[in-house]
Structure 1
Amino acid sequence: MKIIKSSINRYLTLSVCGAILLSATTSCNSFKKLTNEQKGAIIGVGAGAAAGAAIGSKSKNPAVYAIIGSAVGGTAGVFIGRYMDKQAAKMKKDLEGVAEVERVGEGIKVTMKSGVLFGFDSYGLTQQSKDNLAKFAETLKTYEDTNILVAGHTDNVGTDSYNMKLSEKRANSVASFLNDYGVKRSRMSVIGYGESSPLAENTTESGREQNRRVELAIVANDQLKKDAKNGSSEVAQNK
């Protein structure tokens, strides 16, 4: 009982934020629909903006938006959060030196630097990234009750159309590799955002480097949400 109360305190704020966003827009009914409509979008005014502020300045980021937009909240959200905790800990080991793994609400945000994943102006994966992504794929297969947004981003060097195509190719390279290692393509939504969602200013090299990235948002699928709402002991034990 103490564990559940502690978990509720940890996830309650983010769960409420997700619930507010869900009530603010009908586009949050499904993960794939949400991410397709999220291209270049910014969380709106009123309650939605207040919810975004609680998450932080990165709430305009599509991966974060996808996570908070898919939240179910309540006790079910607590169960899902615990399921994600264990998964995120494993992913940090899988992707050490290649990516940053963050727990956000009821999901996981993974940020992969393009400089590690790809050569200059390339969408071919480096050997180092392949080794880590192979381990990452095994973890994704173990925790199979999730959907995955694979989002490609670039800096603003070059034309809009070129950057959009490059971001799509890089996101597809990551998704295809994971699929080759057994992660079902049906779990993944692959989207290129080009230069539309920067993390930092493009006026410096360090800023442009941050903006060149592939991000993954990992959220509960319908079955996991259903099990969590039903109080499944399997979900409570992180499967």
Structure 2
Amino acid sequence: MKTIMFKSGIFAQFLVVIFLMSCSSWNNTQKGATIGAGSGAAIGGLFGSKKGKTAEGAVIGGVIGGAVGAGIGVYMDKQAEKLEKELKDAEIERVGESIRVTFDSGIMFGFDNHALTPEVQETIMKFASVLNEYPDTNITIQGHTDNKGSHKYNLDLSKRRAESVNNYLKMQQVSGDRMMTYGFSFDRPIAENTTEEGRAKNRRVEILITANEDLIEKTEKG
């Protein structure tokens, strides 16, 4: 029974996300409140079921989830707006209750190199300034390559590139405790690796900004 309820909760969240994808006129705060309410209700339902009070647990979970989702949405909306103003060489996307920042590796690094170019260092400095202005987030740095060369070689290169960004952000006083780095070689392409245009898109660094425990706790407390 617990397994069935868990799967039902996930399915309910899936339906909420599909619905929100069609609501293009909604802002991210509204979406955050709705996603929070949906996931909160599912979690609350599971929690309440242990006490034989599934409906009550779902209502409580929904209220808490909605408030947290909306609060995080406001925080992320403001941060994304600031990033869009400061970073002209990066793509800024709001994804759920997170922010994805994508840098073209061709701008960040020389060919077959992991050292940041002088041109991009100023951009990373601006990026760090915004991250320091919004400290209640975790930062995941992901390096990606195209499929030229061996998987092992590209895995090492993608890791070194992610670590270069990490190290430069640390130099700009971004706390290392907030950051994690990963290299994915060419395992996660966003375009076909059969054309030069596609390979260029796949050579990138993605940085995911998500709420940390402090932000969630602050939002819960209002």
TM-score by length of 1: 0.69
Q: Superposition pairs for residues 1-239 of structure 1, below 5 Å?
A: 9-12=30-33, 14-15=35-36, 73-96=65-88, 98-231=89-222
Counterpart CA distance in 2 for 1:134 and 1:155 is: 27
The sequence identity of aligned pairs, in percent, is 45
Q: Distance in 2 between matches of 1:16 and 1:109?
A: 23
Deviation at 1:16, TM superposition (A): 6.3
Distance change >3 Å, CA 15–CA 113, structure 1 → 2: farther
Q: Give the drift of 1:128.
A: 1.5
Deviation at 1:104, TM superposition (A): 1.2
SS in 2 for 1:152: strand
The Cα shift of 1:22 comes to 8.7
User: Is the 1:155–1:198 Cα contact (8 Å) retained in structure 2?
Assistant: yes
In the alignment of these two chains, the number of paired residues is 178
Matched residues in 2 for 1:211 and 1:18: separation? 32
Instruction: Compute the displacement of 1:10 (Å).
Output: 3.0
**In the aligned structure 1, how far is the partner of 2:132 from the partner of 2:39?**
26
3-state SS of 2:173 partner: coil
Please say if residues 109 and 115 of structure 2, whose CA atoms lie closer than 8 Å, have aligned partners that are also in contact: yes
CA positional deviation for 1:7: 6.3
Residue type at the aligned position of 1:88: A
Which structure 1 residue ranges, 5 or more long, are not aligned?
A: 24-71, 232-239
8 A contact 1:15–1:105 mirrored in 2? no
For the structure 1 residues 211 and 145, does the alpha-carbon distance in structure 2 shift closer, same or farther, using more than 3 Å as the test?
Answer: same
In our comparison, the structure showing a higher alpha carbon Rg is: 2
Alignment partners' CA distance in 1, 2:38 and 2:147: 31
Please give the alpha-carbon distance, in whole angstroms, between the structure 1 residues aligned to 2:104 and 2:41: 31
| Structure 1 residue 9: Cα displacement | 3.3
Contact 2:29 2:77 survives alignment (8 Å): no
- Relative distance call for 1:224 and 1:153 in structure 2 (3 A) is same
Amino acid at match of 1:10: K
Q: Structure 1 residues 7, 138: closer, same or farther in 2, change over 3 A?
A: closer
After superposition, the Cα gap between the structure-2 partners of 1:159 and 1:105, relative to the gap in structure 1 and judged at 3 Å, is same
Q: Deviations over 1:156-188 (max 9, x none)?
A: 110000000000000001110000010011100
Could you say if the C-alpha distance between residues 107 and 91 of structure 1 is closer, same or farther in structure 2, counting changes exceeding 3 Å?
Answer: same
Q: Deviations over 1:100-128 (max 9, x none)?
A: 01111111000010001011111111111
Query: What TM-score do the two structures reach when normalised by structure 2?
Result: 0.74
TM-superposed deviation, 1:219: 0.5
Unaligned runs of 5+ in 2: 1-25, 45-63
* 1:18–1:149 Cα change, 3 Å: farther
Say which SS state the counterpart of residue 92 (structure 1) adopts: helix
Q: Distance in 2 between matches of 1:18 and 1:127?
A: 44
* Cα separation, partners in 2 of 1:141 and 1:206, compared to 1, 3 Å: same
